[in-house]
Amino acid sequence: MTHLEVLDLSYAYGLKEEIFRVKLPAMCLERGQSAVLTGVSGSGKSTLLECLSLIRTGFSAAAFQLNGKSLKDLKGAALDRMRGGYLGYMPQKGGLIPFLKLEDDLRLSLALAKKSRRFEKSGPSFEESLELCARLNIEDKMKCYAHEMSEGQRQRASFVKAVCRHPELLLMDEPTSALDPGHARELFSLMIEESLRLRICTVAVTHDLNLASDFNLRHFSYDEELSSAHESVFTERT
């Protein structure tokens, strides 16, 4: 059963004759499925991810549904509730709150998710966050601020923060850009494992085509044949 359905999503930059569009004609994922989004620098990968995460609004779409709920035209409290409770977003940089220690940052993220979704007892727990930190070798950073960690450690911590909320949709922008090959594979493996365990959809922007093929993920990429000087189009590779 389709959990994430996106049809004819389009986002436009500029005004009048200078408009440039980024398009995603179709993306349909079932629960537990993971996908990657690839393309040349500047093609609009991060823009699409920000639309899917509702960081960017003002896009158009024939359909944009998550678990049967429309994400089109959300505003005010409904938009805040969707962002805070149902979407997990991992930016390429800056995913941690600089004035909070990692432990407090994770606890705050969990509290906001629980408030937005009114989880039952089976909802996310801080103990799960600790287990994920241990698996990613950052369990000793719980009392550290972001600036006291390496870039790779901050990236792994940002992943934990995004996934520990039990989002319906997990979105990650270049999650392995600061990681060595070993840690990159470890994080992608954990991403797939958690997606299956929590039965969530995951979409990750990456430049690493090997990770996409090695893990046999759904692959949406910049389509040179359909794109032009005025628009970037992303389609699924088959």
Query: What's the number of CA atoms in the CB half-sphere (13 Å) around residue 99?
Result: 0
For position 202, what pLDDT does the model report?
95
Mean pLDDT along residues 221-238:
94
Contact of 163 with 133, CB cutoff 8 Å: no
Mean pLDDT along residues 15-23:
82
For position 84, what pLDDT does the model report?
87
Mean pLDDT along residues 205-222:
87
For position 209, what pLDDT does the model report?
83
For position 213, what pLDDT does the model report?
82
- Crossing angle for the helix pair 102-117 and 151-163, to the nearest 10 degrees: 20
Strands 201-205 and 34-38: parallel
For position 13, what pLDDT does the model report?
86
- For the stretch 115-128, pLDDT in tens is 887 655 567 889 99
Dihedral of the CA atoms 181, 187, 188, 190 (nearest 10)?
140
Residue 24 has pLDDT above 60, yes or no: yes
**What is the C-alpha to C-alpha distance for residues 35 and 4, in angstroms, rounded to an integer?**
11
- For the stretch 76-129, pLDDT in tens is 999 998 998 899 999 988 899 999 999 999 999 998 888 887 655 567 889 999
Q: What is the residue extent of each domain of the chain?
A: 2-236
Just give the CATH number of 2-236.
3.40.50.300
Alpha helices in the chain (DSSP H): 45-52, 76-85, 102-117, 126-135, 151-163, 181-198, 209-214
Residue 142 has pLDDT above 70, yes or no: yes
For position 120, what pLDDT does the model report?
54
Residue 160 has pLDDT above 90, yes or no: yes
- Crossing angle for the helix pair 126-135 and 102-117, to the nearest 10 degrees: 130
Q: What percent of the chain has pLDDT over 90?
A: 63
84 CA to centre of own chain? 13
**What is the C-alpha to C-alpha distance for residues 25 and 234, in angstroms, rounded to an integer?**
7
